[in-house]
Structure 1
Amino acid sequence: MQPHPPPRTPTAKELRPGRHWYLTAVAIAVVLTVLGVVIGVYRFNNLLDAVDTDQQFANGDTVTLRLDPENEQTIWAKYPGVSPGPECDISGPGAPRLTDPGADLFTTYDETWTPVGTTEVTRAGDYTLTCSSRALSRYALGDSEGLISFAVDLIPAVLLALVGITTAAVITLVTAVRRRAHRKHLLAAPPAPPHR
């Protein structure tokens, strides 16, 4: 009776799926997380520049704006919250109007700004804008991006990072489980007969 040779331990290279799947998982997580961070930073930079607080005007001041249909401006107001709030009027070529900007806010280190209206024009030209309220108020122009918009804009960035991390975790787990099963299968297989 011939003794059976001891079972051969499979090498890491023999196991399937290959170890390159671990690197693929890390690459997916890194790429999607970095992309999410880049989107978040871009949105944050837009938020910082949303309101031009250096160019403020007061109740009753008339401001001239150069507007076109693709370049809408949001009027932001800093006021003490006395009702009714600020009201603005726009005039110029065509039928310009101010639309409801929705609920949002913009904050600096010591001020809170609230959107009053967003310009809507049908053709390019010079427009005049006047705002007033019963309270002592200040006004500034800017984009429609405030804190609420910023939070909503961050959702895709966060989801992108989560998808990357979740995908990487699933690939890593599946690879580890399949490699372990393949190892057990190789250990349980009868040894190959010696070649003659």
Structure 2
Amino acid sequence: MAIPNTWGAPYGGYGGPPPAPPVIPAKDLRPRRLWYVVAALLGAVLVGTGVTLVVLAIKDTVNSVYTAHTFAGGEQRTFGFTRGKTRAIYVSQSRWGHVDCRIPRELADSLTKPAGTFRVTHGARSWDRVLEFTPRTSGDYPVICASEVPGAEFALGDKPEVGGMVGGILAAVGCFLTAAVAVPAICIVTAVRRGRHRRRLLAAATPPMWGPPPSGAAPWPPAGPVA
């Protein structure tokens, strides 16, 4: 049998289950969940920008060869030229072979062989840059090329901007890396701060575990003068 306690509950008795913790609505937490949406949008924008940069770099490189106006070895083809705009001659052949091209002397002094190699794959064909020249006048002029490899095809094109292509790809990689770092960082920081805010709100709303202070006279020591 429980011993009566003048403070309220009997000694050894059971005062009932502890109160349930208060419910904190998610909308009351800070920072708001809007930051998750911001992180998702930021990631989408960065990834989309990176993909666009890669596509543009590849497209500009592929379009540097005028594959719509190819000509066979030994065939003369007339093209329009602009003074000062460097042009390149590309060849598509089954194996490496010596290439010889000729242009009118009034168009350019000579054809030069590029210092490095540059190859563009368009469809089932690969085009290698073999010669370059800078027109000193504008107008339509014929170009004729030949190769020791049978079945070789030639095409005129622009001088490839390797630096621009590399810069575009590096910028795209930067966008991808920024998205990979920024999006998780925003989500983690938001989740941690919301968790801390939830704990602070719970601590402020939860009553003390020991309950309200006792009322009435204390059972010990007994009332009266002390001997």
2: CA distance, partners of 1:127 / 1:64: 5
- Could you say what secondary structure the match of 2:69 adopts? coil
1: CA distance, partners of 2:23 / 2:84: 68
Alpha-carbon shift at residue 11 of structure 1 (Å):
2.3
In structure 1, the partner of 2:132 is: 118
Please say if residues 101 and 144 of structure 1, whose CA atoms lie closer than 8 Å, have aligned partners that are also in contact: no
After TM superposition, the score normalised by the length of structure 2 is 0.64
Alpha-carbon shift at residue 19 of structure 1 (Å):
1.2
Q: Give the root-mean-square deviation of aligned CA atoms.
A: 3.8
Map 1:3-18 onto structure 2 (within 5 A): 8-18=22-32
2: CA distance, partners of 1:93 / 1:68: 10
1: CA distance, partners of 2:121 / 2:203: 67
Q: Deviations over 1:53-107 (max 9, x none)?
A: 3422234444333222564432111234345x31334433464654617322223
Consecutive unaligned residues of structure 1, counting only runs of 5 or more, are none
Q: Deviations over 1:33-68 (max 9, x none)?
A: 222233333344445544333422234444333222
Please say if residues 101 and 115 of structure 1, whose CA atoms lie closer than 8 Å, have aligned partners that are also in contact: no
Q: Deviations over 1:130-162 (max 9, x none)?
A: 33333333211124559xx96874443343234
2: CA distance, partners of 1:33 / 1:82: 40
Please say if residues 75 and 118 of structure 1, whose CA atoms lie closer than 8 Å, have aligned partners that are also in contact: yes
Seen in structure 2, the aligned counterparts of structure 1 residues 165 and 69 have a Cα distance that, compared at 3 Å, is farther
Alpha-carbon shift at residue 175 of structure 1 (Å):
0.7
Give aligned pairs, total: 190
* Residue type of the alignment partner of 1:87: D
In structure 1, the partner of 2:223 is: none
- Could you say what secondary structure the match of 2:30 adopts? coil
After TM superposition, the score normalised by the length of structure 1 is 0.72
